[in-house]
Amino acid sequence: MNAPSEEATLLDKLRAGDPQAFTTLVDQYTAAMLRVARNYVRSTELAEDVVQETWIAVLKGMANFQGRSSLRTWIFAILINTAKRKGTSEHRHHEVETLAFTGGTVDRARFRDADDPYPGHWRESPSAFPETPEGSILGKELTTIAAEQLALLPERQRIVVTLRDLLGFEADEVCELLDVSLGNQRVLLHRGRAAIRAVLEVYLQG
């Protein structure tokens, strides 16, 4: 994220219509915008259309941008609204979906039964994941598996994990963008991360 003073300078240039400032902004955010948009629409082409429409809306709205949220939050809010409009999936029932699922995130069979002397404890303790130095082959394999599993998560979990863990958005920013409570944001993050962890564990156990 830009430091506040950097963002103020960038905003001044954008409002003055400095084309270089827009190029900077496009280069900074387009990859992340395409990734987020792709969560809502069926094809890469549609995601590109969403991003293009978003940039035009950013241009139109720049003069009225109040700076109540960060520039990044504002841009992504426009992006998500645009993507939802173009998307075909149903978005209204998500809060219900979020709360309906009450199962655990770890296989129940991993824990001891109620009649065991240590009910609720691991039958067999998990092992730590190996450290993977920058550039190591195993690190790349695990990152690929994490990315593949991310793509398979339910939509809301996928979007929250993408914003938080891939793109580095703050929790309150995600709540504002997705219009969810902090608590529900954490539930979605928890389930998404836990599902990816489980797949990595299976892979590492071979």
Q: Give me the residues that bind other proteins (CB under 8 A), please.
A: 17, 19, 22-23, 26-27, 30-32, 34-35, 48, 51-52, 55-56, 59, 104-106, 108, 111, 119-122, 125-129, 132, 139, 142-143, 146-147, 150, 161, 165-168, 171, 182, 186, 189-190, 193-194, 196-197, 200-201
Q: How far is the CB of 3 from other proteins (least distance, A)?
A: 20
Q: How far is the CB of 139 from other proteins (least distance, A)?
A: 7
Q: How far is the CB of 92 from other proteins (least distance, A)?
A: 26
3-state secondary structure of 153: coil
Q: How far is the CB of 90 from other proteins (least distance, A)?
A: 26
CA 176-179-185 angle, 5° bins: 85
Q: How far is the CB of 57 from other proteins (least distance, A)?
A: 10
Q: What's the token pair of residue 202? A: 């299976």
Q: Which is nearer to other proteins, 84 or 197 (CB)?
A: 197
DSSP secondary structure code for residue 122 in this structure: B
Q: Which is nearer to other proteins, 57 or 77 (CB)?
A: 57
Q: Which is nearer to other proteins, 89 or 143 (CB)?
A: 143
3-state secondary structure of 206: coil
Q: 51 near 37, Cβ under 8 Å? A: yes
Separation between Cα atoms, residue 121 and residue 112, nearest integer Å: 5
> How many alpha carbons fall within 13 Å on the CB side of residue 100?
5
Q: Which is nearer to other proteins, 31 or 99 (CB)?
A: 31
Q: Which is nearer to other proteins, 53 or 95 (CB)?
A: 53
